[in-house]
Amino acid sequence: MNNILVFCETQNGHLKRSSQELLQKGAKSGHKVFALLLGSSSTAAPECAHHGAKVVLTAKSPALDQYNSELYLAALDAACETSNPSVILAATSSSAKDLFPRFAAKKNLGLVSDGIALTLQGDEVLVTKPLYAGKCFAQASFENSQIKIVLMRPNQLPVDHANSSLTAEVTDLQVPQLDLSTIVKEVVKGASEKLDLTEANIIVAGGRGFKEAANFKLLNELASVLGATVGATRAVVDEGWVSHSMQVGQTGKTVAPTLYIAVGISGAIQHLAGMSGSKVIVAINNDPSAPIFQKATYGIVGDLFSVLPALTEEFRKILKA
């Protein structure tokens, strides 16, 4: 049995699904799981235990409420000293993607980011990850690395029900004071309070078929009925209809929701690369020869301006029932 350290993150005080996935994965693999919770997220310690952590490491300094690369690096260092892990797991969040490569370099360790499947067997750690924005896949393995760091994409691993009878030992870490070169002045909230595209379970995405920016409201209505996050193609981002944070594809976000509804999207190769990992894909397009229909599970050939409002209504009816 090895020790596994899981970098856990919360949203509105609760453990993110992506962190639950990793805690459960570690516990199911028969290893001793340490959860790391920084700043105010420490209140989620019991949840970490319910998902399989045996030890929860917290660092309650208010300076850690907000991500700061230097402070988080120091906290991670302290967590590693305490937990002595052979594997560190984290989700591919904006914080983890910023933090772990620097930690890997500092400690002379290997790191694999963007994992979609993970094998933890004895000392063996194998990660499947997409390359070339999902146009192919490869298996990554580690060499010359005492601790193996894996960043997994959200929604790739199963989550079983939490077991609320499980408890964990909680240890508060001492994190040194630092003279900072990097200061986070403020965090400007995004337009949407919804889950980020990379974490969303349902995505509805629009392309050039919408003809103009104002018509995206039809898509927003569908999204609000489904509790979905809205995505877009590069073409409409470049037109300035929506912000780049909504772009799905090779120069935007790579996503893998359970349900991806592509509306008015023809399916340029660089868009398909970013979303073809979705479990179920629905395509709505007026051109039956659009490449998107090659990737979709279900398709409707039709005019989005009549299909989309009807579909929104139908979902509203069914989901209310």
Partner 1 sequence: MKIFVCLKQVPDTDTRIKIQGDLASIDANGIKWIVSPYDLYAIEEAIKIRESNPGTQVYVITAGPKPRASEALITALAMGADEGILINVAQPLDANQTAKALAATIKSEGGAKSENGARLILTGRSSGDYNQSSVAQMLAEYLEIPHATVISKLQFSPDSVLVERDIEGGAKEVIQLKLPAVISTNKGLNSPRYSSLPGIMKAKKKTIKEIDFTILGVSAEDFKVKYSNFTLPPDKPAARLISGDVPSQVSQLVKVLRDEAKVL
Q: Which of residues 116-155 bind partner 1 (CB under 8 A)?
A: 130-145
The residue among 42 and 229 lying less far from partner 1, judged by its C-beta, is 229
63 binds partner 1 (CB under 8 A): no
Radius of gyration of the CA atoms of the chain, in A:
21
Q: Is the dihedral of CA 277, 281, 283, 288 positive or negative?
A: positive
How far apart are the C-alpha atoms of 241 and 233, rounded to whole Å?
10
Residue 263 as a binder of partner 1 (CB under 8 A): the answer is no
Stretch that binds partner 1, among 20-28, 40-48, 49-57, 91-99 (CB under 8 A): 91-99
318 near partner 1, rule: CB under 8 A: yes
State how far the Cα of 213 lies from the Cα of 134, in Å rounded to an integer. Answer: 28
Of 171 and 270, which CB lies nearer to partner 1 in the complex structure?
270
Tokens in use for 7? 């970098």
Kindly tell me which of 113 and 233 has the beta carbon lying closer to partner 1: 113
List the one residue from 77, 98, 221, 239 that touches partner 1 (CB under 8 A). 98
Angle between helices 216-226 and 304-320 (to 10 degrees): 20
Sketch the per residue contact string, 264 through 293, with partner 1: x for CB under 8 A, - otherwise: -----xx-----x--xxxxx----x----x
Identify the residue among 247, 255, 265, 266 touching partner 1 (CB under 8 A). Answer: 247
Q: Residue 267: how many CB atoms within 10 A of its CB?
A: 23
38, 109, 173, 203: which one contacts partner 1 (CB under 8 A)? 109
Q: Is the separation of the CB atoms in 17 and 159 below 8 Å? A: yes
Question: Residue 42 Cβ, how far from partner 1 at the closest point, in Å?
Answer: 20
Closest C-alpha among 269, 268, 301 to residue 282: 301
